[in-house]
Structure 1
Amino acid sequence: MDHPKTGSVAGKAFKAAFPMTLPILAGFLFLGISYGFLMTSKGFPIIYPLAMSALIFAGSMEFVTVDLLLSTFNPLGALALTLMVNARHLFYGLAMLPRFRGTGWKKPYLIFGMCDETFALVSSNKEPPGVDRGWFMFFITLLNQAYWVGGATAGAVLGNLARFDARGLEFVLTSMFTVLFADQWLKTRTHFPAVIGLASSLICLLVFGADHFIIPSMVLIVVVFAIADRTLWKRQGNLYGSDRREVGA
């Protein structure tokens, strides 16, 4: 009895969600294909990029996992690195708790499928009038993941069919983060976080070497941010409490 009604609700939500995900489609297909090419160039069968893109679904971490799978078995190091790389998702989850409330069985998948791009779309776009919120967010999440899985699988298939020199392809992750860094640098007024990140990474690179600097640098960045944030709040509290004219200036 409820199936036609459910199908109608889901269909309206799909029609509203699909156009919003088209910009993500272009980016995810390109990066996904690059990831699939990278995996096959390292000797992994097609099932690896297919399964990893579907089950991990964390683009930057999937690129990093390629080297983790090829290096010495270190589960604690992999766990720490994963937590550091994806720590921002903790804040995504907290911010989305009100939006996910009342979505029923869709909620676990909405939590699992929360990536940067999906968070940006879901948090900044309210469902159109007459469209179910849960289904709307569900299809945005599902479509974005489908684009990424499809791109990674296509890249793996093409990588097996078209043999070519794939040396340097792993630089795609470095180039992606370089573009993101440059974009954030140009869009923000204060460059304090970027400088802290660069300085911490450089210090740890010199101290720990190129093979072991990532985790220490991320720990150092978190510590510096925590200290800086606490100091800033104290300073602002003192300013507001003692001399408001200085704040106004």
Structure 2
Amino acid sequence: MVLPKSPARPPILNAFREALTATLPIAAGFLFIGAAYGFYMQRMGFSFWYPMLMAMIIFGGSLEFVTVTMLLSPFAPLQAFLMALMIQARHLFYGIAMLDRYKGMGWKKPFLIYGMCDETFALIFAKKPHPDVDPGWFMLFVTLLDYTYWFTSAALGGIFGSLVPFDTKGIDFVMTSMFIVIFVEQVRQQKTPLTASIGLCSAVICRLLFGPDHFLIPTMIVILILVTGLRKRITQKGGFPS
């Protein structure tokens, strides 16, 4: 007796299941970082909907942490623009690397571009879905799930931070520690310490010359000039990703 074959799952469901499985580790990481961001914003006096809204609109963890300080500082649009550009400039390279993969995505393409973050890029770029899974739907669900994990975690952090009394002493150091980790990881991945040395030395010297309140823009200008002038040498030494 031949048993009837079970009906095949719809392609969209297959793509969702594979994307969900692939993004679960990202969900675990986003839960802690996003919640810490929500706690941090609540600690700085913002309502829970601030981290949730900023997570949905900005969708850039590093920039969102910095934005907290910007919101509490005097209005400085040029400094805010340059800061955002410097922090998120790596997304330009993400976009270039994904040009071929995003061809022919139709209505999915705008959200795929908007929802690109470090973790989404790494997963989509490195992982090939199962042959039975539509790549377009897989990339869309990976992007959508990562986006949902992040803003949900940020909102939960803001909500529980306002409802649950706890000692928040030292939580404002989370931004500093995050950038230290990012810096250390970048140094470890580079084949030459030249780019890290340029950034570190430029920041220290400009801070000494211009003071803690006015050194940021000069630092960015000096870094841009040095990196542009030494680009050929840095590339030869493996300081820039290929």
Q: TM-score range by the shorter chain?
A: 0.7 to 0.9
Aligned residue in 2 for 1:186: 188
Deviation at 1:231, TM superposition (A): 5.0
Deviation at 1:179, TM superposition (A): 1.9
**Can you give the 5+ residue segments of structure 1 that lack an aligned partner in the other structure?**
1-6, 237-249
Q: Which residue among 27, 30, 34 is the counterpart of 1:28? A: 30
**In the TM superposition, what whole-angstrom CA distance separates every residue of 1:74-99 from its partner, at most 9, and x where no partner exists?**
22221221111111111111111111
Aligned residue in 2 for 1:216: 218
Runs of 4+ aligned residues of structure 1 deviating over 4 Å after TM superposition are none
Map 1:1-249 onto structure 2 (within 5 A).
8-230=10-232
CA RMSD across the alignment: 1.9
Secondary structure of the structure 2 residue equivalent to 1:207: helix
**In the TM superposition, what whole-angstrom CA distance separates every residue of 1:26-74 from its partner, at most 9, and x where no partner exists?**
2111110110001111111111111001111010110011011111112
**In the TM superposition, what whole-angstrom CA distance separates every residue of 1:129-181 from its partner, at most 9, and x where no partner exists?**
12111111111111111111111011001111122332321211211221232
Contact 2:194 2:234 in 1 (8 A): no
TM-score by length of 2: 0.88
The whole-number CA distance in structure 2 between the counterparts of 1:179 and 1:31 is 13
**In the TM superposition, what whole-angstrom CA distance separates every residue of 1:171-208 from its partner, at most 9, and x where no partner exists?**
11211221232233334432221111111111121122
Contact 2:195 2:234 in 1 (8 A): no
TM-score by length of 1: 0.86
User: How many residue pairs end up in the alignment?
Assistant: 229
Once the two structures are overlaid, the 10-residue window that deviates more, 96-105 or 122-131, is 122-131
Deviation at 1:232, TM superposition (A): 6.0
Greater helix share, 1 or 2? 1
**Can you give the 5+ residue segments of structure 2 that lack an aligned partner in the other structure?**
1-8, 238-242
The whole-number CA distance in structure 2 between the counterparts of 1:33 and 1:116 is 18
Aligned residue in 2 for 1:246: none
